[in-house]
Amino acid sequence: MYNEILTIGSFTIHGYGLMIGLGVLAALLLGDYRAKKLGLESDHIYGMTFFTVILGFLAAKILFIITQWKAFVEAPLTFLSGSGFVVYGGIIGGAITIYGFCKLKKISVLEYLDLMIPSVALAQAFGRIGCFLAGCCYGRETDSCIGVIFTNSDFAPNGVKLLPTQLIMSAGDLFIMTVLLWYASKKPFKGRVSALYLILYSIGRFFVEFLRNDDRGKVGSLSTSQFIAIFILFVGIAGYAVIAPKKYGREKKEDVAK
């Protein structure tokens, strides 16, 4: 694929950055639409999105550096200025940011997490298309009909037929978003939409990692993302089965008392 979409003089629009920007915009619009529909303060969505994007990218970069720390020590400036990120870092950093924002504004953390989490999946879907255009996060060599050949990538091997893992992950993110929106419409316990995202994403990410062939760190026989996915899955299951119902139950009792 070709990452340079448009060049005007010394200014170049890259596909990766363009897709990230479009993903953030789409996520913001979806969050704003759902906030108004649910009777929540849509103004909070804009501030929340701004800080989540900044701190989420920072956390994703930090986790990437941690997974590649040996190479980072040898060439730190290359890593700091490069495009390497680990999505789980962004998820963790984004969740912490939303939590802090909600506490600062004294609004329901679980309610706004559930509101924004389908938007997160949508933004990720756009981001993975950006990965495809850049050629990062590439898959294993293949002879299948779905294989793609990169010719201008700075990341993927050029001239070799590879599995389009970026598009597979993008389709998976869109599927997760659709399931979350459907589930949210059923008005489940607060927090369960977010917990379901953690469950679905960690399972999907664990298995798609077997198809990838880029260097992304190892923990034993597992990739770093697979290792993290196991813990995220348990957190999601615990949140879905235990934490969310208890919190919701306390809120309902308080409402009755009033």
111 within a domain of the structure (yes/no): yes
Closest Cα to residue 109, out of 193, 196, 180, 229?
A: 193
Token reading at 25: 């915009």
Q: Does residue 80 form part of some domain?
A: yes
Q: How many CB atoms lie within 10 A of CB 87?
A: 22
- Report the predicted TM-score, pTM, of the whole model to 2 decimal places: 0.84
pLDDT digits (tens, 9 = 90+) for 78-111: 555 555 667 778 888 888 888 999 999 999 999 9
Residue 258's pLDDT is what? 46
Determine, yes or no, domain membership for 173.
Answer: yes
Look at residue 242 and tell me if it is in a domain. no
- The reply to whether 195 falls in a domain is no
| Cα–Cα distance for residue pair 162/142, rounded to 1 Å | 5
The listed range with the strongest mean pLDDT (51-65, 72-86, 230-244) is 230-244
Residue 101 lies in a domain: yes
Q: How does DSSP classify residue 93?
A: H
* Alpha-carbon 30 to chain mean position: 15
Residue 251 lies in a domain: no
Residue 255 lies in a domain: no
Percent of the chain surpassing pLDDT 70: 81
Instruction: Dump pLDDT digits (tens) for 216-226.
Output: 778 888 998 89
Return the bridge partners of 4, or none.
14
Task: Give the pLDDT confidence of 176-216 residue by residue, as tens digits.
Answer: 999 999 999 999 999 999 999 999 999 999 999 999 998 77
Residues 230-252 have a mean pLDDT of 76
- Model confidence at 257, pLDDT cuts 50, 70, 90, reads very low
Number of domains in the chain: 1
Owning domain of residue 74: 4-188
Confidence of residue 69 (pLDDT cuts 50, 70, 90): low
| pLDDT score recorded for residue 50 | 87
Q: Pick from 177, 187, 136: which is nearest to 15 by CA?
A: 136
Model confidence over 15-50: pLDDT tens digits?
888 898 999 999 999 999 999 999 888 888 888 888
CA distance 51 to 53: 5
The DSSP element (H or E) to which 234 belongs, if any, is helix 224-238
Strand duo 11-14 + 148-149: pairing: unpaired
pLDDT beyond 90 at 164? yes
CB 134 within 8 A of CB 16: yes
Q: How would DSSP label each residue in 173-228?
A: HHHHHHHHHHHHTT--STTHHHHHHHHHHHHHHHHHGGGB-S---EETTEEHHHHH
70 vs 45: CA distance, rounded Å = 38
**Phi and psi, residue 217, nearest 5°:** 85, 155
Locate 179 and state its tokens: 């399931």
- Higher pLDDT pick, 238 / 250: 238
Rounded distance, CA 195 to CA 138, Å?
A: 28
Chain mean position to CA 37: 24
